[in-house]
Chain A
Amino acid sequence: DQQVKQNSPSLSVQEGRISILNCDYTNSMFDYFLWYKKYPAEGPTFLISISSIKDKNEDGRFTVFLNKSAKHLSLHIVPSQPGDSAVYFCAATDLFMIYNQGGKLIFGQGTELSVKP
């Protein structure tokens, strides 16, 4: 059972435009969400996170939006740059697990973003 889903395997945008990457989850226990970026031959690196007590979190060009009722989150990158080209993974967990049981992350399948110059 895929608890975290990224239904778009790939996305192509023009440099300077907005990139929107989407993620859906099914487990209502999830209350903490993260986005990771992965370049080829490297491990995933943390990008931004959001707790379920918020519906938006910003960090520079990156903004994550959370819609709890729809069990949906999205990552907005504005403006997109060629260096943003990578695979983006959405991940979810719950804070009880983080504090008490180690907080393993459940990942989506990833979306490959290509930003064209």
Chain B
Amino acid sequence: DAGITQSPRYKITETGRQVTLMCHQTWSHSYMFWYRQDLGHGLRLIYYSAAADITDKGEVPDGYVVSRSKTENFPLTLESATRSQTSVYFCASSESGRFQETQYFGPGTRLLVL
């Protein structure tokens, strides 16, 4: 039972390149989330999705694009990577997205933008 997986786990790219981070969950959770983790900031929400084809911005959405064509997948794309997007990216999911529900996290993707 894989739960929630992310790929790649590590990525090095150059400024200006497009990068897509993948997230896959096997729980059939409705809600999925993307966070970035930076020193001194904790985790900040980038985008979230309530269901297939329904997405919404979080706290720090600029420079990112998401899509959700299937319930189990929630890719995050950096259309033109910048150095400030060097970070650790976490995908998370929760069953119905209600405030009282626990969010379960994937293992993270470490992204370095040169």
Chain A complexes with chain B: no
Q: Show the binding face of A for B, using Cβ within 8 Å.
A: none
